[in-house]
Amino acid sequence: MKQKIIQALSQTKKQNITLTEAPLAPAAVLLPLYEKGGEYYILFTKRTEKMQYHKGQISFPGGARHEEDQSLEDTALRETFEEIGVYPQDVEILGQLDSMATISSSFLIAPFVGLIPYPYKFVINPDEIEELVEVPISSLLDRNNYREELQIHQGKSYWVYFYQYQGKVIWGATARILKQFLDLVFGSD
């Protein structure tokens, strides 16, 4: 699986996917993968209602770039450590996906895909993260757990994707990043 992911991510030319003309602030997230019981999982976070942006949403660990970050990969790793306690040296970066713009908060998010060890002693920052959401990739590939709808923003139409798992809904920029990952690696459409 690891080699399949590395190969899929290395064969695409990275681009910025923007849905707005507004200026965008740089941000980065980690799409954390791990193997548990012979199956691969993606780890998401549920943001607290205390957060300035995307309150209560299911997301990847990550956030805005800080001046001291040497790169957006550093941003993703720093934010992952701050939010869920995964040390940067415990993450094996496998590649990067297209940068995705958020609509409501004006960020351009650089997503990095990384393998993390499992089991792991996660340390959740209670100011930022309400809970961890572990989702098997097989559930995300199940078409019964997926839907899309066409929406209009600032006169432009675009697709919005929704993944459901155990009563939780993954949507927005997180779902766009997730869809690109699943499409590239597993050929879903």
| pLDDT at residue 149, as a whole number | 94
Q: pTM above the 0.85 mark? A: yes
Q: Which amino acid is located at 111 in the chain?
A: P
How far is residue 171's CA from residue 160's CA, in Å, rounded to a whole number? Answer: 7
pLDDT top residue among 40 and 12: 40
pLDDT digits (tens, 9 = 90+) for 142-151: 999 999 999 8
pLDDT digits (tens, 9 = 90+) for 66-96: 999 999 999 999 999 999 999 999 999 999 9
The structure tokens listed for 88 are 């940067």
pLDDT at 112 over 50: yes
How far is residue 120's CA from residue 109's CA, in Å, rounded to a whole number? Answer: 26
pLDDT band at 20 (very low <50, low <70, confident <90, very high): low
Residue with tokens 């600032």: 154
| pLDDT at residue 156, as a whole number | 78
pLDDT band at 189 (very low <50, low <70, confident <90, very high): very low
DSSP codes, 65-110: --TT-SSHHHHHHHHHHHHH---GGG-EEEEE--EEE-SSS-EEEE
The structure tokens listed for 6 are 């590395």
**Residue range 31-39: average pLDDT?**
97
CATH of 2-136+173-186, one of 3.40.50.2000, 3.90.79.10, 3.40.50.970, 3.40.462.20: 3.90.79.10
**Residue range 10-30: average pLDDT?**
82
| pLDDT at residue 19, as a whole number | 62
How far is residue 124's CA from residue 131's CA, in Å, rounded to a whole number? Answer: 8
For 158, other C-beta atoms within 10 Å of its C-beta total 12
Give the strand order in the sheet containing 168-170: 146-153, 156-165, 168-170
